């Protein structure tokens, strides 16, 4: 099992970091963000009732994951 960190910048100015356990052989940031956010009908991603403006992912070693 591997760990993936999803860092999200929210439109309120806050930053949220979520740690996810990943069993997939290939780590993909797009798959991880879909697991922790909801997609609204206007194509906005929402995390805990806040709109996600931008996000990126890192692995356990701090390397960016695409």
Per-domain boundaries in the chain: 2-65
- pLDDT tens-digit readout, 29-64: 998 899 999 999 898 999 999 999 999 999 999 999
Residues 6 or more apart whose CB falls under 8 angstroms from that of 59 comprise: 2, 3, 4, 5, 27, 65
Q: How confident is the model at residue 66 (pLDDT cuts 50, 70, 90)?
A: confident
Distance CA 3, CA 65 (A): 11
Which of 2, 3, 5, 14 lies closest to 53, judged by CA? 14
- pLDDT-derived band at 25, boundaries 50, 70, 90: low
Whole-model pTM: value is: 0.88
């Amino acid at each position: 099992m591997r760990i993936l960190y999803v860092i999200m910048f929210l439109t309120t100015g806050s930053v949220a970091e979520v740690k996810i356990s990943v069993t997939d052989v290939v780590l993909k940031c797009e798959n991880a963000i879909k697991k922790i956010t909801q997609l609204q009908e206007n194509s906005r991603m929402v995390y805990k009732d806040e709109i996600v403006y931008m996000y990126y992912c890192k692995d356990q070693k701090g390397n960016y994951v695409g």
